[in-house]
Amino acid sequence: MSTLVVGLLLSALLIVLALSSVAFALWRQVWSRQSALAAAEQERRALLAGHLRLLAGSLLDEQVPLIEGAIRIKVLLDHYDPQLSQSERCQVFQQLYEASAHVPTHADWSALDKAERRHFEALFNALELQHKAAARNCAHWLLEEALPPRK
C-alpha cells in the first residue's frame, strides 16, 4: 500500500472517531435531559398527589365546602392523571364541576344581588344533598387506593 492510501485511511479513521465522540457526547446530553424531565415529572406528580390528598382529607373533614372541594379535586385530577379523572369512580367530581360551572365567582359573585346569591346557594345545597355521599366515597377511595401513600 502506498503512503497516500495509508494516510487517507488514517485520516478517515480519525474523522470517524471524532464524529463518534461528538455523537456520543450529544447522546449523553439527550439521556441527561430525559432523566431530568423524568425526575421533574415525578416531582410534579408527587406534588399534585400531595395536594389531592390534602383536598380529599379536607373534604372528608368538612373543612372545605363540598362544591368547592369537588371542583378543586376535579381540576387537580385532570392534571395528575386524566384517565383517573375520567374514571367511573371520580365522575361525581365531574358532575359537580359541570353543574356549577355557570355560577359566577370572585368579583362576579360579589356583584350579585341577594336573590341571585340565594338562588345559587339553593343550587349548592341541592347538589350537596344529591352528591355528598358519592363525593365522600370517592375522596375516601382516592386517599386509600388511588393515590400513592405519603412518604
Residue 37 Cα distances to 7, 23, 83, angstroms: 45, 21, 21
Any alpha helices (H) in 61-151, and if so which ranges? 66-80, 82-85, 91-100, 106-110, 114-141
Residue 92 in contact with residue 138, Cβ under 8 Å? yes
Q: Measured between alpha carbons, how far is 146 from 143 in angstroms, rounded to an integer?
A: 7
Q: Are 52 and 80 in contact (CB under 8 A)?
A: yes
What pLDDT tens digit does each residue of the chain (151 aa) get? Answer: 799 999 999 999 999 999 999 999 999 999 999 999 999 999 999 999 999 999 999 999 999 999 999 999 999 999 999 999 999 999 999 999 999 999 999 999 999 999 999 999 999 999 999 999 999 999 999 999 999 988 7
- CB–CB of 46/75 below 8 Å? no
The pLDDT of residue 150 is: 82
C-alpha cell at 117: 346569591
DSSP 9-36: HHHHHHHHHHHHHHHHHHHHHHHHHHHH
How many whole angstroms separate alpha carbon 125 and alpha carbon 67?
Answer: 9
